[in-house]
């Protein structure tokens, strides 16, 4: 009887950890999926499904060393599958653009922001898909090692993608100034 209680208490702790992880990561996973080209509804579905799979996997007794990377990897794989069945929505989805925009601006500020955003979108379109993905994941605070696990590439490759992406964005920023 004591062993059952100990198992129940351990499971309660894991459930709490999963809930905390969900709260901490769901927005980042969602934004990452939108960056991949999913529409908002599909990105939300896949985000929830990735965390449900984490819950099921842990419930089944599997040990997951880095749950954050695991969730991103599962979400990434599900998104690739979903995108394989359909077309990408756009190279730089509107959902990301909306998160960049700031509300309550005067007409001049709105025009400047619109022009900047159009230039930024254009610059992002010229990045390779891996450069865009690495930049998005790095912007969410992920380490090179975590990004490498998600994209299934070497850590040094992540560094190359980031350097090239940042270099191209800097060229765009210098050109527009």
Q: Do residues 46 and 10 share a domain?
A: yes
Q: Which of 124, 110, 126, 119 is nearest to 175 (CA)?
A: 119
Per the prediction, the chain carries an average pLDDT of: 78
- For the stretch 30-81, pLDDT in tens is 988 888 888 888 889 999 999 889 888 888 888 888 899 999 999 999 998 8
Q: Do residues 74 and 32 share a domain?
A: yes
CA distances from 84 to 27, 35, 36, 150 (A): 23, 15, 12, 18
CA 45 to chain CA centroid, Å, is 14
Tell me what the mean pLDDT of segment 14-31 comes to: 86
Q: How many domains are contained in the chain?
A: 2
Domain boundaries, position 177: 101-177
Three-state DSSP string of 31-59: HHHHHHCCCHHHHHHHHHHHHHHHHHHHH
Strands in the chain per DSSP E:
none
52 in a structural domain: yes
Q: Do residues 39 and 123 share a domain?
A: no
Give me the residue label for tokens 């930049």.
135
- Given 91, 122, 142, which residue is the final one in a domain? 91
- For the stretch 139-152, pLDDT in tens is 888 889 999 998 99
Give the pLDDT of residue 102: 47
Asked if pLDDT for residue 103 goes beyond 50, the answer is: no
96 in a structural domain: no
Q: Which two tokens stand for residue 71?
A: 């969730």
Tell me what the mean pLDDT of segment 146-172 comes to: 89
Q: Do residues 81 and 38 share a domain?
A: yes
Q: Do residues 30 and 105 share a domain?
A: no
Asked if pLDDT for residue 89 goes beyond 60, the answer is: no
**Residue 22's domain is classified under what CATH number?**
1.10.1740.10
Q: Do residues 61 and 105 share a domain?
A: no
φ, ψ dihedrals at 11, nearest 5°: -65, -40
């Amino acid at each position: 009887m004591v062993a059952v209680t100990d198992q129940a208490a351990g499971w309660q702790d894991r459930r709490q950890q999963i809930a905390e992880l969900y709260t901490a990561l769901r927005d980042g996973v969602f934004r990452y999926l939108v960056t991949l080209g999913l529409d908002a509804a599909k990105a939300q579905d896949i985000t929830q499904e990735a965390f449900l799979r984490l819950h099921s996997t842990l419930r089944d007794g599997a040990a997951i060393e880095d749950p954050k990377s695991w969730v991103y990897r599962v979400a990434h794989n599900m998104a690739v599958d979903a995108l394989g069945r359909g077309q990408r929505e756009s190279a730089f989805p509107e959902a990301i653009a909306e998160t960049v925009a700031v509300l309550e601006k005067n007409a001049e500020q709105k025009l400047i922001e619109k022009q900047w955003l159009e230039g930024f979108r254009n610059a992002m379109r010229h990045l390779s898909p891996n450069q865009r993905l690495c930049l998005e994941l790095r912007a969410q605070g992920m380490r090179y090692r975590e990004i490498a696990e998600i994209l299934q590439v070497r850590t040094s490759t992540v560094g190359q993608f980031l350097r090239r992406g940042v270099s191209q964005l800097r060229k765009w920023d210098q050109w527009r100034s």
